[in-house]
Amino acid sequence: MNRGITGRTPYPALAIAAAILSLIACRGDMVAEQRQRDRHPAQAESRVGRPREELGEEPGGRRVRERAGTPEEVRRREHMVASQLQARDIADPVVLAVMGRVPRHLYVPEPMRGFAYEDYPLPIGEGQTISQPYIVAYMTQALELEPGDRVLEIGTGSGYQAAVLAEIVQEVYTIEIVPELAQKAGALLSRLGYENIHVRTGDGYFGWPQEAPFDAIIVTAAPGHVPQALVDQLDEGAALVLPVGEEYQELVRIRMGTAGEQQVERLLPVQFVPMTGVARRAPDGDSPK
């Protein structure tokens, strides 16, 4: 559920006001969408895939233009990469290129699109947010991904983080506990032409054992402890990156060694929404040492 901030930038009053207006403006659309889903229930799991430029029937086709955005949106995205990512500590050229390519404005409610490339999270409905761009880039970079990797994401949210991952790796498996968000993200990713993203509705606390092991796992909501099931689904040399904690949270990377040993690194303080479902009831015996 892509929703992290570093605390380096406050959540501005303007964005809060815009969020309220967003929820009011989108309420009618959300009701209509729910009625449509009730008439045509979505499957619990869907497959969507990697975008390709040829998805527009010809150069400059509708889908290609939609992915790029308007010239102003392209300019703002380029500015985001330069001022928020490169100016900090995002140095991976692949991550920088993908962040400059994925149209973040399509993953936020339409009334909020003017804020899509700002340096803070934004509401996406259902009490959840899309993480600030820096956190998305930081966590992606921390996974140290390779083109052939298979990645598990816990918390699909808007689908933005999944899209970023899918531009880099071979397959993305993403789980969202809120059915409305899973349906909306799956529909958007499908419309944008992704073929290597698998969306499932459910509790991500236990991962996706049928598809394990994974080359990397990313969690975008904060459990109070590290779910052991996720650690168990790491392949040799794989990394798990997740926020851990309740009142105080920190971003943690756990790397699985070839002999089953685990290397734990504390990366930076963060603030994410808490992981819901089983994570709220499970004992906290798996906290990183």
Cβ neighbours of 180 (radius 10 Å): 16
pTM of structure: 0.81
CB-side neighbour CA atoms (13 Å) of 286: 18
| Domain range summary for the chain, segments of one domain joined by + | 4-27+45-280
The mean pLDDT value of the chain amounts to: 84
> Which pLDDT score, from 0 to 100, does residue 260 have?
82
> Which pLDDT score, from 0 to 100, does residue 27 have?
42
User: Is the domain covering 4-27+45-280 a CATH 3.90.230.10 domain?
Assistant: no
65-82: per-residue pLDDT in tens? 567 889 999 999 999 999
165-224: per-residue pLDDT in tens? 999 999 999 999 999 999 999 999 999 999 999 999 999 999 999 999 999 999 999 999
* φ and ψ of 219, to 5 deg: -120, 130
83 annotated active-site = no
Q: Under 8 Å CB-to-CB from 187, ≥6 apart: which residues?
A: 42
Q: How far apart are CA 283 and CA 75, in angstroms?
A: 47
Contact 135, 141 (CB under 8 A): no
Which one is catalytic: 22, 46, 83, 131?
A: 131
Q: Measuring CA to CA, which residue among 177, 152, 174 is closest to residue 232? A: 152
**Segment holding 96, helix H or strand E:** helix 93-99
pLDDT bucket at 258, cuts 50 / 70 / 90 = confident
Q: Under 8 Å CB-to-CB from 214, ≥6 apart: which residues?
A: 150, 151, 152, 173, 233, 234, 235, 238
**Omega within 30 of 0 (cis) for the link into 103:** no
Q: How far apart are CA 189 and CA 169, in angstroms?
A: 16
Query: CA angle, corner 82, sides to 78 and 88, nearest 5?
Result: 145
Contact 227, 279 (CB under 8 A): yes
> Which pLDDT score, from 0 to 100, does residue 77 have?
98
pLDDT bucket at 58, cuts 50 / 70 / 90 = very low
